[in-house]
Chain A
Amino acid sequence: NAGVTQTPKFQVLKTGQSMTLQCAQDMNHNSMYWYRQDPGMGLRLIYYSASEGTTDKGEVPNGYNVSRLNKREFSLRLESAAPSQTSVYFCASSERRTSVYFGAGTRLSVL
Protein backbone atom coordinates (compact mmCIF):
# COMPACT_ATOMS: atom_id res chain seq x y z
CA ASN A 1 0.00 0.00 0.00
CA ALA A 2 1.60 3.24 -1.17
CA GLY A 3 -0.73 5.63 0.70
CA VAL A 4 0.34 9.21 -0.09
CA THR A 5 3.24 9.58 -2.49
CA GLN A 6 5.14 12.84 -2.97
CA THR A 7 7.67 13.72 -5.65
CA PRO A 8 10.36 14.87 -5.64
CA LYS A 9 11.82 14.05 -2.22
CA PHE A 10 14.45 16.79 -2.46
CA GLN A 11 14.79 19.93 -4.57
CA VAL A 12 17.12 22.91 -4.69
CA LEU A 13 15.96 26.00 -6.51
CA LYS A 14 17.38 29.43 -7.20
CA THR A 15 15.35 32.47 -6.27
CA GLY A 16 12.80 33.20 -9.00
CA GLN A 17 12.66 29.68 -10.39
CA SER A 18 9.39 27.79 -10.54
CA MET A 19 8.51 24.22 -9.72
CA THR A 20 5.60 21.92 -9.05
CA LEU A 21 5.39 19.48 -6.15
CA GLN A 22 3.38 16.40 -6.99
CA CYS A 23 1.18 14.38 -4.68
CA ALA A 24 -0.91 11.30 -5.30
CA GLN A 25 -2.99 9.12 -2.98
CA ASP A 26 -4.38 5.65 -3.59
CA MET A 27 -6.89 5.49 -0.73
CA ASN A 28 -9.81 7.00 -2.66
CA HIS A 29 -9.99 9.93 -0.25
CA ASN A 30 -12.03 12.95 -1.21
CA SER A 31 -9.96 15.58 0.60
CA MET A 32 -6.31 16.47 0.10
CA TYR A 33 -4.05 19.02 1.77
CA TRP A 34 -0.67 20.72 1.50
CA TYR A 35 1.26 21.67 4.63
CA ARG A 36 4.67 23.16 5.23
CA GLN A 37 6.88 22.59 8.24
CA ASP A 38 9.56 25.05 9.33
CA PRO A 39 12.13 24.55 12.12
CA GLY A 40 10.63 25.00 15.57
CA MET A 41 7.13 25.21 14.18
CA GLY A 42 4.37 22.79 13.62
CA LEU A 43 2.88 22.02 10.25
CA ARG A 44 0.90 24.88 8.72
CA LEU A 45 -1.82 24.46 6.11
CA ILE A 46 -1.10 26.06 2.74
CA TYR A 47 -4.06 24.94 0.59
CA TYR A 48 -6.59 22.19 0.63
CA SER A 49 -9.05 20.52 -1.69
CA ALA A 50 -12.24 19.26 -0.10
CA SER A 51 -13.16 17.31 -3.19
CA GLU A 52 -12.24 16.98 -6.82
CA GLY A 53 -12.74 20.32 -8.55
CA THR A 54 -12.50 22.50 -5.44
CA THR A 55 -9.56 24.22 -3.74
CA ASP A 56 -9.35 26.66 -0.85
CA LYS A 57 -6.69 28.68 0.92
CA GLY A 58 -5.29 27.60 4.22
CA GLU A 59 -3.28 29.55 6.76
CA VAL A 60 -0.24 30.43 4.60
CA PRO A 61 -1.26 30.46 0.88
CA ASN A 62 0.79 33.41 -0.39
CA GLY A 63 3.28 32.50 -3.10
CA TYR A 64 1.61 29.17 -3.93
CA ASN A 65 -0.97 27.80 -6.33
CA VAL A 66 -2.59 24.39 -6.39
CA SER A 67 -4.35 22.13 -8.85
CA ARG A 68 -6.60 19.19 -8.03
CA LEU A 69 -5.95 17.26 -11.21
CA ASN A 70 -8.31 14.40 -10.37
CA LYS A 71 -9.40 12.55 -7.25
CA ARG A 72 -5.95 11.01 -6.79
CA GLU A 73 -3.65 13.94 -7.50
CA PHE A 74 -3.11 17.33 -5.90
CA SER A 75 -0.16 19.48 -6.98
CA LEU A 76 1.45 22.54 -5.38
CA ARG A 77 3.17 25.12 -7.58
CA LEU A 78 5.69 27.79 -6.69
CA GLU A 79 5.64 30.31 -9.54
CA SER A 80 8.64 32.36 -8.39
CA ALA A 81 10.46 30.71 -5.50
CA ALA A 82 11.75 32.83 -2.62
CA PRO A 83 14.18 31.89 0.19
CA SER A 84 11.26 32.18 2.65
CA GLN A 85 9.75 29.14 0.91
CA THR A 86 12.62 26.93 2.03
CA SER A 87 10.77 24.30 4.01
CA VAL A 88 9.60 20.72 4.18
CA TYR A 89 6.31 20.24 2.36
CA PHE A 90 3.84 17.54 3.29
CA CYS A 91 0.83 16.39 1.34
CA ALA A 92 -2.02 14.69 3.17
CA SER A 93 -5.34 13.09 2.37
CA SER A 94 -8.30 12.25 4.57
CA GLU A 95 -11.75 10.75 4.73
CA ARG A 96 -12.41 10.67 8.47
CA ARG A 97 -10.91 12.51 11.39
CA THR A 98 -8.82 9.53 12.39
CA SER A 99 -7.65 8.88 8.88
CA VAL A 100 -5.50 11.83 7.93
CA TYR A 101 -2.51 10.33 6.17
CA PHE A 102 0.67 12.20 5.30
CA GLY A 103 3.29 11.66 2.63
CA ALA A 104 6.99 11.46 3.43
CA GLY A 105 7.61 15.08 2.49
CA THR A 106 9.52 17.16 -0.05
CA ARG A 107 12.56 19.00 1.26
CA LEU A 108 12.91 22.26 -0.67
CA SER A 109 15.80 24.72 -0.48
CA VAL A 110 15.59 28.06 -2.24
CA LEU A 111 18.94 29.79 -2.60
Chain B
Amino acid sequence: DQQVKQNSPSLSVQEGRISILNCDYTNSMFDYFLWYKKYPAEGPTFLISISSIKDKNEDGRFTVFLNKSAKHLSLHIVPSQPGDSAVYFCAASANAGGTSYGKLTFGQGTILTVHP
Protein backbone atom coordinates (compact mmCIF):
# COMPACT_ATOMS: atom_id res chain seq x y z
CA ASP B 1 0.00 0.00 0.00
CA GLN B 2 1.60 3.22 -1.18
CA GLN B 3 1.45 5.79 1.61
CA VAL B 4 2.75 8.66 -0.52
CA LYS B 5 1.45 9.06 -4.05
CA GLN B 6 2.32 11.35 -6.91
CA ASN B 7 -0.39 10.60 -9.44
CA SER B 8 1.10 12.58 -12.32
CA PRO B 9 4.07 10.73 -13.84
CA SER B 10 4.98 13.75 -15.93
CA LEU B 11 4.33 17.46 -16.36
CA SER B 12 5.28 19.75 -19.22
CA VAL B 13 5.25 23.54 -18.90
CA GLN B 14 6.50 26.56 -20.79
CA GLU B 15 9.40 28.60 -19.47
CA GLY B 16 8.18 31.45 -17.31
CA ARG B 17 4.89 29.76 -16.41
CA ILE B 18 3.97 28.11 -13.12
CA SER B 19 4.68 24.43 -12.47
CA ILE B 20 2.45 22.71 -9.92
CA LEU B 21 3.41 19.26 -8.69
CA ASN B 22 1.02 17.37 -6.46
CA CYS B 23 1.39 14.75 -3.76
CA ASP B 24 -1.11 12.84 -1.60
CA TYR B 25 -0.48 10.83 1.53
CA THR B 26 -2.49 8.43 3.64
CA ASN B 27 -0.54 7.99 6.87
CA SER B 28 -1.77 10.39 9.57
CA MET B 29 1.48 9.92 11.47
CA PHE B 30 3.44 11.85 8.85
CA ASP B 31 4.30 15.27 10.25
CA TYR B 32 7.09 16.48 8.00
CA PHE B 33 7.16 16.64 4.24
CA LEU B 34 10.00 17.23 1.82
CA TRP B 35 10.50 17.73 -1.88
CA TYR B 36 13.58 16.39 -3.61
CA LYS B 37 14.85 17.10 -7.07
CA LYS B 38 16.75 14.49 -9.03
CA TYR B 39 18.77 14.81 -12.21
CA PRO B 40 19.74 11.70 -14.21
CA ALA B 41 22.74 9.82 -12.80
CA GLU B 42 22.68 11.89 -9.61
CA GLY B 43 21.25 11.38 -6.17
CA PRO B 44 18.17 13.27 -4.95
CA THR B 45 18.89 16.74 -3.61
CA PHE B 46 16.78 18.49 -1.01
CA LEU B 47 14.63 21.30 -2.34
CA ILE B 48 12.14 22.49 0.26
CA SER B 49 10.21 21.12 3.22
CA ILE B 50 7.22 21.85 5.41
CA SER B 51 6.18 20.89 8.89
CA SER B 52 2.62 19.80 9.59
CA ILE B 53 2.16 22.81 11.86
CA LYS B 54 2.38 25.07 8.81
CA ASP B 55 0.33 25.31 5.65
CA LYS B 56 2.84 27.13 3.48
CA ASN B 57 6.58 27.45 3.14
CA GLU B 58 8.35 29.61 0.59
CA ASP B 59 11.93 29.67 -0.64
CA GLY B 60 12.62 31.87 -3.63
CA ARG B 61 10.80 30.49 -6.65
CA PHE B 62 9.61 27.43 -4.74
CA THR B 63 6.56 27.27 -2.49
CA VAL B 64 5.10 24.20 -0.82
CA PHE B 65 1.49 24.14 0.34
CA LEU B 66 0.11 21.62 2.81
CA ASN B 67 -3.57 20.79 3.25
CA LYS B 68 -3.68 18.46 6.24
CA SER B 69 -7.39 17.80 6.13
CA ALA B 70 -7.08 16.60 2.54
CA LYS B 71 -3.71 14.93 3.16
CA HIS B 72 -2.40 16.77 0.14
CA LEU B 73 0.63 18.88 -0.61
CA SER B 74 1.80 20.69 -3.67
CA LEU B 75 4.98 22.28 -4.93
CA HIS B 76 4.72 25.49 -6.95
CA ILE B 77 7.61 26.71 -9.06
CA VAL B 78 7.27 30.27 -10.33
CA PRO B 79 8.60 31.17 -12.81
CA SER B 80 9.66 27.82 -14.24
CA GLN B 81 13.06 27.62 -15.91
CA PRO B 82 14.54 25.01 -18.27
CA GLY B 83 17.07 24.12 -15.57
CA ASP B 84 14.16 22.99 -13.39
CA SER B 85 13.63 20.01 -15.72
CA ALA B 86 14.18 16.98 -13.49
CA VAL B 87 12.33 14.33 -11.52
CA TYR B 88 10.66 15.67 -8.40
CA PHE B 89 9.99 13.39 -5.45
CA CYS B 90 7.65 14.08 -2.59
CA ALA B 91 8.71 12.44 0.68
CA ALA B 92 7.25 12.21 4.16
CA SER B 93 8.48 11.31 7.60
CA ALA B 94 6.88 10.50 10.95
CA ASN B 95 8.40 11.92 14.09
CA ALA B 96 10.16 9.15 16.00
CA GLY B 97 13.06 11.16 17.32
CA GLY B 98 16.37 12.02 15.75
CA THR B 99 16.97 8.54 14.38
CA SER B 100 13.98 8.88 12.10
CA TYR B 101 15.20 11.87 10.12
CA GLY B 102 16.32 9.89 7.13
CA LYS B 103 13.52 7.33 7.27
CA LEU B 104 11.57 8.79 4.44
CA THR B 105 8.60 7.44 2.51
CA PHE B 106 8.77 8.58 -1.10
CA GLY B 107 6.23 9.07 -3.83
CA GLN B 108 6.86 7.67 -7.30
CA GLY B 109 8.15 10.93 -8.69
CA THR B 110 6.99 13.39 -11.37
CA ILE B 111 9.11 14.17 -14.40
CA LEU B 112 9.00 17.92 -14.99
CA THR B 113 9.97 19.26 -18.40
CA VAL B 114 10.24 23.01 -18.84
CA HIS B 115 10.32 24.05 -22.49
CA PRO B 116 12.19 27.21 -23.54
Contact = CB atoms under 8 A, between A and B. Distances in A.
B19 interface: no
B35 to A, nearest CB: 11
Interface of B: 4, 6, 9, 32, 34, 36, 41-46, 49, 89, 91, 93, 98-99, 101-109
B108 A41 contact: yes
Interface residues of A, number: 30
Contacts, number: 75
Given A45-B104, A94-B101, A97-B101, A105 B41 contact: yes
Contacts of B36: 102
Contacts of B32: 97
Interface of A: 4, 30-33, 40-45, 48, 50-51, 58, 90, 92-105
Contact of A100 (B41, B42, B46): B46
